[in-house]
Amino acid sequence: MADNTPISICIITKNECDTLKECLKHLKPYADAGNHEIVIVDTGSTDNTVEMCKEFTDKVFFFEWINDFSAARNYAAEKASHDWILCIDSDEYVTEWDEKSIQSILSNKPYCLGTINIINNCGFGKDAYQEKSILYRLYNKMHYYFKNAIHEQLVTFHSSEKELAQHSNITIFHNSYSGTKEDLFPKTERNIKLLKEELLKNPRDAFTLYNLGQCYYMREDYKTALQYYSEGLEQDINPALPWAKNMVVSYGYCLLNLNRIEQALELEGLYDVFADYADYVFLIGYIYMKNGYFDDAIHQFELATTKSDYAVLGSNSFRAYYNIGVIYECAGMIDRAKEYYKKCGSYELAKSRLKKDNH
C-alpha cells in the first residue's frame, strides 16, 4: 500500500507499559501495511513505558503533564509528520482496520472528520456489559484541534467551514471501564477533579454535567449522579446526540437503583423523542417490569428488538429476550420462558436459567 496517503497515529500515555504494549502489538501491522507512522507522547512515566515504546516506533516525545488531555493531544499532533491524525488511547486495541475507508476520508475535503467504532467493557461481575459508541478520531490537524481538559472534543479553527463526517470502519476495543470498583476509583477521582474544574468555567455545560454523572454512576453513587444528570437535562441539548440519549437512559437507571420506581415512570413522557432508540425502549420495559406492569414490559422488550439504534450490546436482542424469559418464568410459564432464553444465544445469564429449568 505504498501509494496510500500516510497518517500519523497519535497516542498519549503515562505508566501504562503493559496495556500500551498490547495496543501497539495490535496496531503495528496495520500501521506498517499502510505506511503510517506511530507517534507516542509520554506525560511522565516512571515505569518501562518509554523503553517499551521504542521497540515499536522512533517517534517518542515527552510532554509535561498539566492536567489537560487536549493540550497533550495537540502536542502529539504538532510532533506528527503528517497532517492527518488518528487518535488512539493506550488502553485500546484495534480489532478491525479498513484501509480503504480511511483513504476515502483522506481523499475527501481536508475538513472531513473520520469516525471509528469503540466497544467498551463496562460494569462489574454479573452486571458487566459491553457498550458501543462512534467517536470522531480521524482529523486533519490544519483544520481541527482538541479542546477541554478532559473528555476532549475536536473543534475547527475555521468557523466558516461546514463539518463533514465519514465513517472509517475501524473498530477499537476499550477495556478501561471494567474491572472492580477499586480499579475504577483512582480514574474516576482524577476525572471528577478535572471535570469540576471545567464546570467552574461553564456551569451550564450539559456535556460536562453528563460526564460528571457518568463518573459518579460508575462509583455507584447514584444520588450524586442523578443530580448531575438532572442539571444536564435542564439545558438546551440536541436529543439526537448519542451522549444526550445516554444521559436520559442513565438518569432512568439512577432512579431505579435508588428504588424510585414510580418516579421512573415519568420517562414515558419522552417516548416520542426516543422511540427509535433501543436502549430507551428497553429501559421503559424494565421500568414497567419493576412496577409490575408485566404485559406492558413484554411489549416494550419486544419493540426494543426491532430497533437498530443502540448503545448497550443486547438491548435490542439477547438482553430484551432474557427479561421476557424472566417474566414468563416468574409467571410459571416455563416453556415460554425457555423459548425466550434460547433466543439469547450464548448470553450466560440465559444459559444458566436454561440449566436451572432443566433440572
Is this model's pTM higher than 0.95 or not?
no
Rounded to whole angstroms, the Cα distance separating 141 from 156 reads: 9
CATH number for the domain spanning 306: value is 1.25.40.10
Query: CA dihedral in degrees (77, 79, 84, 90; nearest 10)?
Result: -60
Residue 1 lies in a domain: no
Domain final residue, candidates 158, 178, 198: 178
3-state DSSP assignment of residue 40? strand
Residue 165 is placed in which grid cell? 463526517
CATH number for the domain spanning 113: value is 3.90.550.10
Residues 207 and 328 in one domain: yes
> What tens-digit pLDDT sequence spans the chain (359 residues)?
447 899 999 999 999 999 999 999 999 999 999 999 999 999 999 999 999 999 999 999 999 999 999 999 999 999 999 999 999 999 999 999 999 999 999 998 888 999 999 998 887 666 778 899 999 999 999 999 999 999 999 999 877 666 688 999 999 999 765 556 677 788 899 999 999 999 999 999 999 999 999 999 989 999 999 999 999 999 999 999 999 999 999 999 999 999 999 999 999 999 999 999 999 999 999 999 999 999 999 999 999 999 999 999 999 999 999 999 999 999 999 999 999 999 999 999 999 999 886 64
Rounded to whole angstroms, the Cα distance separating 214 from 254 reads: 11
Residues 218 and 353 in one domain: yes
Residue 329 is placed in which grid cell? 418464568
Residue 3 lies in a domain: no
Residue 221 is placed in which grid cell? 453513587
Rounded to whole angstroms, the Cα distance separating 135 from 171 reads: 11
Rounded to whole angstroms, the Cα distance separating 36 from 243 reads: 31
- Residue 143's domain comprises 8-178
Residues 77 and 188 in one domain: no
Q: How far apart are the first and last CA of the chain?
A: 58
Strands 153-156 and 144-147: antiparallel
In the chain, the number of structural domains is 2
Residues 169 and 237 in one domain: no
Where does residue 179 fall: left (phi above 0), alpha (psi -120 to 50 degrees), or beta otherwise? left
